[in-house]
Amino acid sequence: MADATTRLEATLILIKPDGLAKSLTGNILTRLSEAKLEIAAAKCLRVSQELAENHYQALRDKPFFDELIDYIMGKRHSRKKVLAMVYAGDKAIEKVRQLAGTTNPEEADSISIRGQYGRITTTGLYENVIHASS
């Protein structure tokens, strides 16, 4: 039975094309297992232009939007897919976002997924290997 401090949630996680291209899936899943959450769903898929633009709709006015769309669609890597997962459990969003680290891999905690595996390209694009919804 859940107590007053339990907050059951579900959160979308994407292992992005750069994470797949670098063969980081196993490492990322191992790190995510630290959260003691349940994988409710998982699917490997190609991200269409329409899906990418809908997913990043809030960033449409940013100067990096087109580059971001190309990135999530796999146009910049040898892998053209993402691994999409839904993790569920107590405080799932908070736990996953803490493990993922901040969006900017250079500002992310060095023990976070983005801090360990992410980078910023010479054009300023964040290749941060994972998306964690809030």
CATH architecture of 24-132: 2-Layer Sandwich (3.30)
pLDDT of residue 1 exceeding 60, the answer is no
Is 80 exceeded by the pLDDT of residue 43?
yes
Query: How much is the pLDDT for 56?
Result: 94
What are the residue boundaries of the structural domains of the chain, listed by start?
A: 24-132
DSSP 54: H
d(CA 26, CA 82): 14
Residue 113 · residue 30 · CB < 8 Å: no
What are the pLDDT digits (tens) for 92-119?
A: 999 999 999 999 999 999 999 999 999 9
Q: Is 131 a catalytic residue?
A: yes
Catalytic residue, chosen from 71, 101, 131, 132, is: 131
- pLDDT for 83: 98
pLDDT at residue 80 is higher than 90: yes
